[in-house]
Amino acid sequence: MMEVCNCIEPQWPADELLMKYQYISDFFIAVAYFSIPLELIYFVKKSAVFPYRWVLVQFGAFIVLCGATHLINLWTFTTNSRTVALVMTTAKVLTAVVSCATALMLVHIIPDLLSVKTRELFLKNKAAELDREMGLIRTQEETGRHVRMLTHEIRSTLDRHTILKTTLVELGRTLALEECALWMPTRTGLELQLSYTLRQQHPVEYTVPIQLPVINQVFGTSRAVKISPNSPVARLRPVSGKYLLGEVVAVRVPLLHLSNFQINDWPELSTKRYALMVLMLPSDSARQWHVHELELVEVVADQVAVALSHAAILEESMRARDLLMEQNVALDIARREAETAIRARNDFLAVMNHEMRTPMHAIIALSSLLQETELTPEQRLMVETVLKSSSLLATLMNDVLDLSRLEDGSLQLELGTFNLHTLFREVLNLIKPIAVVKKLPITLNLAPDLPEFVVGDEKRLMQIILNIVGNAVKFSKQGSISVTALVTKSDNRAPPDFFVVPTGSHFYLRVKVKDLGAGINPQDIPKLFTKFAQTQSLATRSSGGSGLGLAISKRFVNLMEGNIWIESEGVGKGCTAIFDVKLGISNESKQSGIPKVPANPQHVNFAGLKVLVMDENGVSRMVTKGLLVHLGCEVATVSSSEECLRVVSHEHRVVFMDVCTPGVENYQIALRIHEKFTKRHQRPLLVALTGNTDKSTKERCMSFGLDGVLLKPVSLDNMRNVLSDLLEHRVLYEAM
Amino acid sequence: MNTVVAKLQRQFQDYLVSLYQQGFLDNQFTELRKLQDEGTPDFVAEVVSLFFDDCSKLINSMSRSLERPENVDFKQVDSGVHQLKGSSSSVGARRVKNVCISFKECCDVQNREGCLRCLQQVDYEYKMLKTKLQDLFNLEQQIVQAGGAIPQHFPSYTILRPDIRPCLDA
């Protein structure tokens, strides 16, 4: 009996070999299918980024199930039970489900995966591009570095030859050139001469004319220009059978002058002078000129131009400096010579000043003495002539000496307070006798607002007025002479380059002297004030004078910050001399200053006035004491500052201290006396006796608290005046 | 008698004037004479003799300083010159004073030779002045003995200072 078994009989062909192969294949497939997910898991675990895990799981499941299917297939080759079939079916069903799901999923996934690929490609391209750009930047930086280095080399020297040589050498090195040459324009500017080359030590000095078309082409642009290797400027190397001459580039180098540099501009390339730089690549190298290399060349050419111009500037400035030094030395010598000459002249003047005056005065003195004795009329006439001539001579000498001092600028006005009205009257009194003899009436008009007491140089002002009025008298044969003095504020008749501005305590005095005498040709007027010039038309030889009077007057007027001029309508029509001078207005209503031989008898009594004299020099101490005793004072003397401090007391009204000895110690005593007597009315007045009276001494005395300064040796009258002023005002700084 | 006195006075005056004109004396001496009066009849003589004593002392000390050429104490010499200059200008010894001025210059540049020369000159000048003044004082004495008065005032022309002079050319 045949049992119905639940086994399924495979429908086999009886081919066992095929079965075996299928069996083996299924086995391997299963193994593979199982290992793939393992591998996937392994590698995905390894990788950090994989966004599709779910897909992986699905895929893994799909493969596993496929594998399972194939594995189960192994059992179906032999008689299998229903269980196996069931399992097989289940597996297949699952596999089918998963596969469909996976297939559906892949439809979504695969475009994504593909786009990843696209992005990857895109990024790769970008990276390549960036790489390229980096390459470019690096190249540029290299170029820049080269340029900087070159520039530094070129500019580190100011010597022309070094600059050019360095340029060629560095360029040759940087660009690996075969030959590099510089053509400079000749002096005529019509040719270019080969001046520097890199390889050849002694370049053959040959020239090319500057008007070649290739040269014009290069000079026409500031860029580097490729030129043919066969052009005349490039034919420098010995052509020794080279197949392919390297490419040649030429660039212009402007030769700038100092005048091209404006302060705030770049140098204008308005110069026409260029040099030519020619650069040759090595032959047979198939190298090409790259853009960055050309840029390098252009930049270098500019730098060379600047460096050359700096070198030129430096050369010029060195030359100028040498010239200046020479001039300096020459000037120094000249100045020293001039100083020596001035000193010699001053010495001469100083000596002659006295030496000439002494005999002069002797003559005058003795002649006047002689005049007072018994003389016959002829003798009297002779003596008078002698007197007149000698006083003339004395005047002349004084004039000449004054003038040289005036020109020197060493003459200073001696300012003092004086009575202006009295001055005019005195002048007139001096002139009147002569005027009366010549029958020329003189009138004096003083403006009502003319100040009476003024500050100025009385002596010199008198000299000026006397000179002018004297001239008026001298040159008039008839007519009258009028002297007018007024205060001028605004001036409408002075020469146009002079403005009168009255300031606070000063005023401008205008004096007009009008005569109806000979007059002056207007053309001669400018000459009047030049020394030694005499107007020929009316010089009566007996009138004498040296022509210096007006010149001196003019200088005095200028010293007084004024102006002097003469107006005349012509010969025979008289003339008017006008001058303005600046004078100060005095606040004092009484006369002080230059003490005249006893004009104001002093009634001040010094009897019993206690004074102290301090002087290290015995002789001068005795003299000063004698002086003061004669005036009636009670005098105590000390010979040192310590002694002075010991002896001085509030009973002493005045202390005279000698400060002639050099050093500041003498002045210290003034301070110590100030310290000793704190109450002002108890402190004695302090007066310094000194040998020089310049401003610094005065200032120093004032700064040390002295009440007055006196110039030694002191005359009796001086001392008298000084004492009375001092006791009245308690301060005295004018008695010099 | 009067004529004798007058003659003596005239002689005195002329001599004095000549001293001024030869440059031995200057204004200061005049001032000095003004200080002499009945109360101090010998003032001038005293001052002058003090001055001469001073001179000789200073000259001696200065010549000692200048003796050895190696170590000349120019400071000391300078102070001596300064003193001498001061004294001579107080007295009116004009020539002595002038020599002192050049002496000071030599001292400033430390010129020993120059200093020695100036020292010699100072010595000569002061001795000369001493002699002259001695003669003058002798004349004075003679006048006093003859019963006359010493002329005090001088004709103003002896005040030798250029002053305002009228620039008259006619």
Q: Considering only A400-409, A712-721, B108-117, which range has the smallest mean pLDDT?
A: A400-409
Nearest CB to B51 within list A364, A619, A712:
A619
Q: Which tokens is A133 given?
A: 């750009």
* Residue A548: band (very low, low, confident or very high) from pLDDT cuts 50, 70, 90: low
- Residues 350-379 of chain A with CB under 8 A from chain B are 357-358, 361-362, 364-365, 368-369
The average pLDDT across A364-375 equals: 85
Give the pLDDT of residue A14.
59
Q: How far apart are CA A237 and CA A178, in angstroms?
A: 9
Give the pLDDT of residue A736.
39
Give the pLDDT of residue A677.
80
Give the 3-state secondary structure of residue A673: helix
Q: How far apart are CA A250 and CA A224, in angstroms?
A: 6
The per-residue b/e assignment along A159-193, b for 16 or more CB within 10 angstroms, e otherwise, is eeeebbbbbbebbbebbebbbbbbbbbeeeeebbb
ipTM computed for the complex:
0.80
Asked whether residue B36 is assigned to any structural domain, the reply reads yes
* Residue A336: band (very low, low, confident or very high) from pLDDT cuts 50, 70, 90: very high
Give the pLDDT of residue A327.
95
Q: Which residues pair with A575 in a beta bridge?
A: A515, A568
Asked whether residue B35 is assigned to any structural domain, the reply reads yes
Query: Measured between CA atoms, how close is A467 to chain B, in angstroms?
Result: 6
Let me know: does B143 contact B5? Beta carbons within 8 Å: yes
Query: Measured between CA atoms, how close is A619 to chain B, in angstroms?
Result: 5
Q: Taking CB atoms and an 8 Å cut-off, how many pairs form between chains A and B?
A: 118
Q: How far apart are CA A365 and CA A594, in angstroms?
A: 25
Give the pLDDT of residue A587.
67
Nearest CB to B165 within list A394, A434, A626:
A394
Residue A529's contacts (CB-CB under 8 Å, 6 or more residues apart) are A550, A551, A554, A564
pLDDT at A231 over 60: yes
Asked whether residue B96 is assigned to any structural domain, the reply reads yes
Nearest CB to A620 within list B23, B90, B170:
B90
Give the pLDDT of residue A333.
96
Let me know: does A642 contact A619? Beta carbons within 8 Å: no
Asked whether residue B89 is assigned to any structural domain, the reply reads yes
Mean pLDDT rounded to a whole number for chain A: 79
pLDDT at A600 over 50: no
Q: Do A617 and B160 touch (CB under 8 A)?
A: no
Which one has a higher pLDDT value, A204 or B22? B22
Q: Which residues of B touch A (CB under 8 A)?
A: 21, 23, 27-28, 31-32, 34-35, 37, 39-40, 43, 46-47, 50-51, 54, 79, 82-83, 85-87, 89-92, 155, 157-158, 160, 162, 164-170
Domain that holds residue B81: 3-148
The H-assigned helical ranges of A77-159 are 82-155
Give the 3-state secondary structure of residue A563: strand
Q: How far apart are CA A719 and CA B123, in angstroms?
A: 32
Give the 3-state secondary structure of residue B126: helix
Alpha carbon B163 to its chain centroid, in Å, reads: 24
Let me know: does B96 contact B112? Beta carbons within 8 Å: no
Q: Do A629 and B35 touch (CB under 8 A)?
A: yes
Nearest CB to B170 within list A459, A474, A622:
A474
pLDDT (tens digit, 9 = 90+) per residue, A575-594? 889 999 988 887 654 444 44
User: Can you give the CATH number for the domain in which B13 is found?
Assistant: 1.20.120.160
Q: Do B87 and A618 touch (CB under 8 A)?
A: yes
Nearest CB to B169 within list A369, A544, A715:
A544
* Phi/psi at B121 (5° precision): -65, -40
Asked whether residue B26 is assigned to any structural domain, the reply reads yes
Residue (of A344, A103, A714, A193) closest to B28 by Cα position: A714
Residue (of B98, B85, B95, B8) closest to B51 by Cα position: B85
Asked whether residue B116 is assigned to any structural domain, the reply reads yes
Number of domains in chain B: 1
Residues of B within 8 A of A658 (CB-CB) are: 86
Nearest CB to A626 within list B35, B87, B158:
B35
Give the pLDDT of residue B57.
92
Residues of B within 8 A of A617 (CB-CB) are: 54, 83, 86-87, 90
Asked whether residue B156 is assigned to any structural domain, the reply reads no
End-to-end CA distance of chain A: 179
Let me know: does A539 contact A522? Beta carbons within 8 Å: no
Residue (of B96, B87, B79, B98) closest to B48 by Cα position: B87
Q: How far apart are CA A546 and CA B169, in angstroms?
A: 9
pLDDT at A314 over 50: yes
Q: Do B50 and A357 touch (CB under 8 A)?
A: no
Nearest CB to B157 within list A361, A434, A627:
A361
pTM of the model: 0.37
Q: How far apart are CA A147 and CA A154, in angstroms?
A: 10
What is the β-pairing status of strands A610-614 and A685-690? unpaired
Residue (of A248, A273, A256, A269) closest to A193 by Cα position: A273
- Residue B163: closest C-alpha in chain A: A459
Residue (of A162, A191, A170, A198) closest to A310 by Cα position: A162
The average pLDDT across A358-387 equals: 85
What separation in angstroms does the CA of B59 have from each of A179, A456, B54, B121, B129?
A: 92, 46, 8, 11, 15
pLDDT in tens, chain B (170 residues): 578 888 888 888 888 888 888 888 888 888 888 888 777 888 889 999 999 999 999 999 998 888 888 888 888 888 899 889 989 988 888 899 889 999 988 888 888 888 889 899 999 999 999 999 999 999 888 888 888 777 776 544 433 334 333 333 33
Asked whether residue B18 is assigned to any structural domain, the reply reads yes
Which one has a higher pLDDT value, A239 or A307? A307
- Residue A426: closest C-alpha in chain B: B166
Cis amide linkage into residue A713, ω under 30° from 0: yes
pLDDT at A685 over 90: no
pLDDT at A12 over 70: no
Best residue in A360, A405, A619, A627 for a mutation probing chain B (most B CBs within 10 Å): A619
Q: Do A434 and B168 touch (CB under 8 A)?
A: yes
Q: Which tokens is A84 given?
A: 């196996």
DSSP secondary structure, A300-357, as one string? HHHHHHHHHHHHHHHHHHHHHHHHHHHHHHHHHHHHHHHHHHHHHHHHHHHHHHHHHH
